[in-house]
Structure 1
Amino acid sequence: MSELQRHLGGSVLRFAGFELDQQRAELRGLDGVAIKLRPKTFEMLRLFASSGGRVLSKQELMEAVWPNVHVGEDSLFQCIRELRTALGDERRQLIKLASGGGYLLATEVVAAPEVTAQAEATRPDSAGRSELPAEVAAAPQRAMFGLSRQALVAAVAGLCVIVVGLAVAAPVLKPDLLFRRTPPRLAVMPIVDASNDPRGAVMAAEVTGRLTDGFAKIQNISVVAPRLAAAAGGDSSAAPGTSSDFELRGELQHSDQSWTLRARIIKAGTGEVQSVVAASVSADEADAPLAQSRLAAGVGHVLARRLNEILEPSASSSASRKSSTGGDRVAVEQALASINQTTRERFGAAQAMLQKALTDDPDNVDLAVALASLQMRGIQMVWFSPEEAVTVEARANATLEQALRAKPNSIPVLEAHCRFLSATNHFVESLVTCAKALSFDPWNGSALYLIGLGQIYLGRFDDALATFRQADRYDTPPASRWTWLLGAGMANVLMGRDEEALPWLQRSIAITPGTGRSHFLLAAAYRRTSRFEEARAAIAEGLRLRPGTTRLNVWPPMKNASPVCIAAWERVVQAEVDAGLPEQ
């Protein structure tokens, strides 16, 4: 071990205004508040901080963070993204990609002064007495914390006045202003293997781990790892729930066609079931980690949203709280389906339905947010005239600002705001908002798609492709699948990887064939791989879906786009023209 490594072997490492407490497995900011990290992400940061500024190869990082486990680079990229978000490193000045591959922490790291000796000296003895150093024990008893007896009496009296004042003020102050509430605790119990398959125990254990890691990312809950149940021989019913507010329990089953995971959230105190969900993957899936990821995401996505509904209730009036029942829920679900499965006809029908529901219940926050989110899709698809788009954008902005004040941690509100920022080309802001949405639902493919889209416009094509691939590994919600497939195809086309782009674009069009823009991108990829007939056919289909498209208006909005992005789109548009897109 080098002298530098010994020097950095202390419990607390400091860098760039952060503290990395290795003993407590905690990252703290300038304000001393802990910043939540997954265990794998924390371990990667610890490696960076103790490496002495050395470049760590991708292979070295994967072997250290995931020992004896085969993982793809997507897992590595996910940790890197989480670290950059936690460190506020959007410009990638702290965690840097080194030439030739690998990463490094590009800042000075120092070990905090050790205080363990004094702490050990003041540890109570077996009789409960503190063992103070001799010079402290011999000090006059009239001094404490460097204060005289008189000063200490005055300080205690002042403290009493403050406490009495807070007691008087408590009825009119929010509780969070006086006391920080403990976040609700979720116990993720070991998934029960009911598969009668030799692979079932491993599959169940891996899915349990992925669910635990995922829920540990959620900002407003605390996760209890299933150690008690594991110690009880894997019988999840043996683990008491008294230390948690909610429990996640599930069973894994196997058939000739599929693996199926059924899971539920239970209120620990009453045993009341809060939400039930099932997810399945093909039994023929050869990629076991992919199957595990999709099973965990399939149930985790739904349960995370249900927890969010429970923990972030509407601040609206009681008259408008009916948004989650009856016809209003149908209207919201119809809107979401039309956002994800895009056709102009479905868009128009959903917009009319939501507008009618809002006429009946004008104070309903959820309906207003759903309408704003739907209309942002309409702006992105150029289904409003320029004049209409300006009016719609202003109305949506006002709606979302009001909704954010009422429900700042609501997943649907954050998603809608993220979509608004993306549709109006505020890409840096959209990355921040989408990341917050992911902090309440780590399996949110819609948020991942919008993050990837922002990365594309900022010229970060490799990052975007990794984000879209992560969304594809989760595959939730399935209704949004075409978006990240299109995004992966787009990223590949913009990087000139046309052969790799084709299957992504083809899969996206097979799910949602009515967008038009997907066909133009497909035409560019066909043209640059010398498949001229296919390229012309793709242009013809795109023009059928979006008549009047020319070189001048096929471009997506380029406001705030990076020069790298604009140059790449110029090459793509030229390929579309070469394939038959009209110049004017």
Structure 2
Amino acid sequence: MVLRFSGFELDPERAELRSPDGGTIKLRPKTLEMLRLFAANPGRVLSKQQLMEAVWPNVHVGEDSLFQCIREIRTALGDDKRQVVRVISGRGYLFQADVTDTAAPAPEGNATAALPPHVEPVPQTDANREPARRRFDVSLRSSAALAAAAVLVILGAALTLVMVRPGLIFARGATTIAVMPMTDAGNDPLVAQMAAEVSGRLTDGLAKIENIRVLAPETGAAKADFVVKGELQKSEQAWTIRTRMTEAATGEVKWTASYSVDLTDTDLPMQQSRLAAGVGHALAVRVNELLNADASSAAKSKVVIEQATAHIKQTSPERFQAAQAMLEKALAEDPDNVEVQVALAALLMRGVQMVWLSGPEREAAEIKAEAMLQQTLRAKPNYIPAHEAYCRFLNATNQFRASLVACAKALSFDPWNGIALYHVGLAQIQTGRFEDALATFMQAERFDTPQVSRWTWKIGAGWANMLMGRAEDAVPWLLKSIAITSASGRTHMLLAAAYQQLGRTEEARAAMQKGMELRPGSTYRNVPTPKKNSSPVYIEATERIMQLMVAAGLPAS
């Protein structure tokens, strides 16, 4: 079926958009899929949620990914005045164009692009009704197949969660937060507009958190458990936002934070995203701490965890063993301390991933880490560090689909969690969904929280580009990752492969030599990640990268 509108031709079979002059317009796969959905349903308002669930099924993505696709569609169609892809305030988007197709009607009905069976269309009222020339219409056979697949996905996700804790899927809690409009200290209209945008993004993000409710600022301050207020300032170099959260009943300050974003490194939408994420991430973590507070063990665990973390900042097997001994001793003294359990489980998985453990040691570490994390999740089913660690554990043990569920759970308590997003991207990579992975890493980049982990999604973006054969795009991301954390041998080895593909052989050998210094004993056989549960697409792309590494100087055995 070739869809024609405004002189353009959209050929889903060939994944092409052709301009009125016959030329091919290059679009990313997700952007092309969204345009196909619009063109198959002109005159119908599609909500943001419908679009996101249709284009990114069963994947957690933020609205920034949606907005990027919308921008690319408008650019491709020359829709500068936003008359083709229209915003319907408070409802979603409308594709306003006459659409025809060259395909004959299917025997069982019009085979138009449809939303997933679990997504209900937005009710059409007289206020937003547009003449629809095409409608969502799926054959009974297709509907049954899609519905069955959806049921299997839901049952699989539920089964995975129930194995951890039968009550892990729970209703939204009663804790309420009111976010007051951010103020502008200098009465500058530009700053005031920026403050309003940041307030909106912060409120939208908090509203996604599973166990809190966000109240409207007009009436919420008097009814909320917590009230968040903030002030935005602009200097020549940066935006700075200062926020605080108080307990409404007592007026006690429960949290304060200050966050700055450089004016020169990013565009305005990213500045808004990072300001909201910078305070939003810290706020989500603080609220989660308050709701999971355990005063009896917090003070004891904090010191030992900080000491153990300090030991592994300089990554080496010896530092790993010293940190493990500290945490093992602390856990022996306080077996029910969930903070130490999570820290030890995360440390053990780091040892597995860094190949610091032998075969039997690795297996024992995986069993022990999983047992501790499941115990923690039973004790505290909405505790962010436990979900984040379990998400990482499932990825490290090649349980990629279960990892996507666990990572989504972590994001349901902290939508700005860059670590969870990074691991979503890793699972997408291993399952062969490279474009989705790149979009996830880019979302983490837009949030840039927590900053201590920013090197991870940068190497992720470089890796995703390499898997798609885009060495030129991969190099800047890998260099940025190395500039932040230069101690990762894997990053240097990926950079060597990228340079080798680009014909920059001297730089490739230098990068590989640095990688070998950081990971002595590395060979073609032990550098790749285990292939268990990995997609054939991923395995094939990895083999191509490994051959480039060998050409750059990685020993074959």
TM-score by length of 1: 0.67
Shift in CA distance, 40/278, structure 1 to aligned 2, threshold 3 Å: farther
Q: The residue matched to 1:543 in structure 2 has which SS?
A: helix
Residue 333 and residue 190 in structure 1: after superposition, are their counterparts in 2 closer, same or farther (change >3 A)?
A: farther
Secondary structure of the residue aligned to 1:455 is helix
Query: Relative to 1, partners in 2 of residues 1:195 and 1:405: Cα closer, same or farther, differing over 3 Å?
Result: same
Query: What is the rounded CA distance, in whole Å, between the counterparts of 1:180 and 1:487 in structure 2?
Result: 34
The aligned residue for residue 265 of structure 1 is 245
In the TM superposition, 1:328-477 aligns within 5 A as 328-335=301-308, 344=317, 346-477=319-450
Residue 519 of structure 1 deviates from its aligned partner by 1.1
Map of 2:115 onto structure 1: 105
Question: Which of the residues 210, 219, 234 maps onto 1:219?
Answer: 210
Structure-1 separation of matches of 2:385 and 2:323: 17
Opposite residue 191 of structure 1, the aligned amino acid is: M
With over 3 angstroms needed to count, the CA separation of the structure-2 counterparts of 1:285 and 1:499, relative to structure 1, is: closer
Separation in 2, partners of 1:582, 1:268:
63
Deviations 1:546-580 (A, max 9, x none): 11111111111111101000000000000101111
Name the structure 2 match of 1:201: 192
Conserved 8 A contact 2:418-2:444: yes
Match of 1:499 among 445, 466, 472: 472
C-alpha offsets along residues 282-320 of structure 1, whole Å, 9 cap, x if unaligned? Answer: 133451111111111111101101111222345xxxxxx
Letter in 2 for 1:567: E
Pairwise mapping of residues 46-61 of structure 1 onto structure 2 (< 5 A)?
A: 58-59=69-70
For residues 576 and 284 of structure 1, the distance between their equivalents in structure 2, rounded to whole angstroms, comes to 36
Change in 2 beyond 3 A, CA 1:111/1:543: closer
TM-superposition CA deviations, 1:10-34 (whole Å, max 9, x none): xxxxxxxxxxxxxxxxxxxxxxxxx
Structure 1 position 514, deviation (Å): 1.4
Alpha-carbon distance between aligned partners in 2 of 1:443 and 1:370, rounded to the nearest angstrom:
21
Give the RMSD, CA atoms, in angstroms. 3.3
Which residue in 2 is equivalent to 1:188? Answer: 179
CA displacement at 1:351 relative to structure 2? 2.5
Seen in structure 2, the aligned counterparts of structure 1 residues 44 and 570 have a Cα distance that, compared at 3 Å, is closer
Check whether the contact 2:47–2:122 (CA below 8 A) recurs between aligned residues. no
- Alpha-carbon distance in 1 for matches of 2:314, 2:191: 35
SS of the residue 2:543 aligns to: helix
Contact 1:196–1:254, Cα closer than 8 Å, also in 2: no
Relative to 1, partners in 2 of residues 1:339 and 1:291: Cα closer, same or farther, differing over 3 Å? farther
CA contact (8 A) 1:195 1:252 kept: no
Whole-angstrom CA distance in 2 between matches of 1:260 and 1:550: 47
Structure 1 residues 104 and 385: CA distance shift in structure 2, 3 A: same
Corresponding position of 1:53: none
Match of 1:156 in 2: none
Give secondary structure in 1 for the equivalent of 2:457.
helix
How has the CA–CA distance of structure 1 residues 346 and 512 changed in structure 2, closer, same or farther, with 3 Å as cutoff? farther
Q: Could you list the per-position Cα deviations for residues 352-411 of structure 1 after superposition, in whole angstroms to 9, with x for gaps in the alignment? A: 332232233232121011110121122111121222111111111111111110011100
Deviations 1:2-60 (A, max 9, x none): xxxxxxxxxxxxxxxxxxxxxxxxxxxxxxxxxxxxx9744747999xxxxxxx99438
TM-score (norm 2): 0.70
Which structure has the greater CA radius of gyration?
1
Q: Is the 8 A contact 2:178 2:220 kept in 1?
A: no
The CA distance in 2 between the partners of 1:499 and 1:394, in whole Å, is 41
Asked whether 1:249 is paired with 2:232, we answer: no
Are residues 1:275 and 2:255 paired? yes
Alpha-carbon distance in structure 2 between the residues aligned to 1:213 and 1:281? 20
Where does structure 1 lack aligned partners over 5 or more consecutive residues? Answer: 1-38, 49-55, 71-79, 81-101, 115-175, 229-238, 315-320
Q: Corresponding residue for 1:307?
A: 287
Change (3 A) 1:242 1:558: same
- Distance change (3 Å), C-alpha of 1:286 and 1:309: closer
Aligned mates of 1:109, 1:367 — CA distance in 2:
41
User: In percent, how many aligned pairs have the same letter?
Assistant: 55
| Segment drifting more, 478-487 vs 380-389 | 380-389
Deviations along 1:516-564, one digit per CA (max 9) or x if unpaired, are 1111111100000011001001111111111111111111111110100
For residues 122 and 449 of structure 2, what CA distance do their matches in structure 1 show? Answer: 43
The 3 A distance-change label for structure 1 pair 286 and 197 is farther
| Residue identity matched to 1:278 | S
Q: Is the 8 A contact 2:459 2:478 kept in 1?
A: yes
Q: How many residues are paired up?
A: 425
SS of the residue corresponding to residue 351 of structure 1 reads helix
Q: Which residue of 1 aligns with 2:163?
A: none
Displacement of 1:495 in angstroms is 0.5
Could you tell me how far apart the structure 2 residues matched to 1:424 and 1:46 are? 28
C-alpha deviation, 1:195, in angstroms:
4.2
In the TM superposition, 1:543-558 aligns within 5 A as 543-558=516-531
How far 1:61 sits from its partner (Å)?
A: 10
SS at match of 1:264: strand
Structure 2 residue 509 is matched with structure 1 residue 518? no
